[in-house]
A = this chain, B = another copy of it.
């Protein structure tokens, strides 16, 4: 299933800037960054639970916001892009 992860991390403090880096790093490991704080992650249920657990351990729940949108398996028809698009379809074969 494709899970969209969006976040707002309060970066007014050095600690906030560190949380932002950690959140982004965790998401990069699991998916594709499509905008500065928007990631598309192809995950099974266990991976989704694990990612939520990891991210909730990083953020400050009083000041930061994490949102997860589950687009299911038939996600392609649900996504439209205008303007720049950062890269590849997460489920495409990556030719190296």
Interface size band for A: 35 or more
Across the interface, name the chain B residue whose C-beta is closest to A72. B78
12 contacts between A and B (CB under 8 A): A6-B34, A6-B35, A6-B38, A35-B65, A38-B67, A52-B80, A55-B82, A64-B84, A67-B80, A67-B81, A71-B78, A72-B78
Q: A7-B35, A36-B8, A38-B6 are in contact. Are A79 and B67 (CB under 8 A)?
A: yes
Can you list, as one digit per residue, whether each of A15-31 has a CB less than 8 Å from chain B (1) or not (0)? 00000000000000000
Copies per assembly: 2
B-binding residues in A (CB < 8 A): 4, 6-8, 34-38, 52, 55-56, 59-72, 77-86
